[in-house]
Amino acid sequence: MAQEAPVVPSPAHRTDLRERIRRRLADETGRLVKEAPFTVALTYPSPYGAAMSSLGFQRIYRAIMEAPGLACERAFLDDEAENGDAAQQRPVTYESQRPLEDFPIIAVSVAYELEIAGFVRLLEAASIPARRSERDGRHPFVLAGGPLTFSNPLPLAGIADAVIMGEAEELAITAITELEACGGDRARQLAALAKLPHVFVPEIHGPILPTVAKASDAVLPAWAPIRTPHAVLADMFLIETERGCSRACTYCVMRRSTNGGMRVASMERILELIPPNARRVGLVGAAVSDHPRIAQIVDKLAESGREVGLSSLRPDRLGDELVGALARAGYKTLTTAMDGPSERLRESLERRARIRHLEKCAEMAKKHKMDRLKLYLMIGLPGETDTDIDECVAFTTELSRIIPVSLGIAPFCAKRNTPLDGAAFAGISLVQARLERLKRGLRGRADVRSTSAKWAWVEYVLAQGGEAEGLAVIDAVHAGGGFAAYKRAFGALEALSPKRARRSLAIAAV
């Protein structure tokens, strides 16, 4: 989902990074302490609060810390200078406050396309060239992975030395061990990783991507060892209820064709892994509400006095038992997905959600005394017209007569490895016009909020792009990192390829 560029504090209000690290470490629960012969820097190209709310990042942290002979120290993007005029303070790790550039390996987890800019800022703040071609054996080896690799990691090809594709908790240990064995010889390191299945080495593989890795069932479910009040999901213990999805939504990377579909953790195992002192529990997965015993899991946690959060609720799976359990677990807003603005578009996306499911959600939220119903949807979908937007207005108006409604809207961005791969971006001006039409129709009836159409276009170009688009991010960051900088950087690529030129037409009406 596209995000706005963040607001940066003025220099007068900035605090010292090391002091922030000291305070945050003092407030962490569950941090793993270990000394090992080989230590790597594990990084996340967003601020600390976002990183520590990432189950994937914490899962890799735990995997490295549990591996014999290995350890890791964490580093993040400076949250007081993520963008704009304020300079990034020199990144140091939380565990020892060693400079990032002192480590032999920098492992980075990239969740989605717009975080590539943070990746660039993190490296350059450590005086490490962001361009792979400008680094050699004197620099740390840059190893990337994360959710982005399920879709299109090619924009990372000019930045990372190697990329682990897919589920990495086992493969990351193998890759790090291989890198250690090569003793810092860059040519040997690249050759060794290129032989590993599911590892992409751009210098050797060019634009040819390997398949994504699938972790063994033995390492499931993932859970996060560290809780902190400074995370976006403050003091929440995160645990996976299932991995993958059994559905076939045409826009989604994590559909049933990815790694064999959904793998479910047992209710007993999930409850067993939750620490007794964890008062807030986050149940995480691509399709949490599809877990066959999700209502019982939530009910058990509510009975023990815990607050519960779920990462994904499907309207066709929300029955009275589950909604009642959610209410007892502290839910004040029932949040689920509308996906498309009309029934016709939802059918085109192969979504199971129907009008009757959404109406039932509103009625159950009201029955269980929740404050409101929040629905997520996309606009700018292929084939969308003003008639679809008007249907959304009429239907949301009806729902608002049952319970207050909020709409969270994201412009549609086609992703690689989905049936909608290659679908055009609707255009910034068109998306903005549709959003305004929706807001006008629902004024006084529903709260409507959307992510930026401009940044959605940036996300789209990267999602459909390759190494050149990733390198253009470096140019955009150097030019200030605003939308105009991206527009210029991507526009400079137009002459290189008709395909790139077609993608750029989406901004013609800005």
Task: Compute the CA torsion angle 113, 83, 234, 3 (nearest 10 deg).
Answer: -40
**228-to-91, 107, 240, 479 alpha-carbon distances in Å:** 20, 22, 18, 35
Sign of CA dihedral 434, 436, 441, 445: positive
Whole-number mean pLDDT of the chain? 92
Helix, strand, coil percent values for the chain (each to nearest 5): 40, 15, 45
For the whole model, what pTM was predicted? 0.93
| Farthest-apart Cα atoms in the chain, separation | 67
Q: Which of 17, 45, 60, 203 is nearest to 123 (CA)?
A: 45
Q: What's the pLDDT at 485?
A: 97
Q: pLDDT for 119-134, tens place per residue?
A: 999 999 999 999 999 9
**Which of these ranges, 380-394, 472-486, 489-503, has the smallest mean pLDDT?**
489-503
Which residues share a beta bridge with 92?
Answer: 99
Contact 281, 309 (CB under 8 A): yes
pLDDT digits (tens, 9 = 90+) for 200-250: 999 999 999 999 999 999 999 999 999 999 999 999 999 999 999 989 999
Write the pLDDT tens digit of every residue in 26-58.
Answer: 999 999 999 999 999 999 999 999 999 999 999
Set out the domains of the chain in order of their start, with CATH numbers. Answer: 11-205 (3.40.50), 217-456 (3.20.20.70)
**Exposed, middle or buried, 310 (CB in 10 Å: 0-12/13-18/19+)?**
buried
Residue 305's contacts (CB-CB under 8 Å, 6 or more residues apart) are: 279
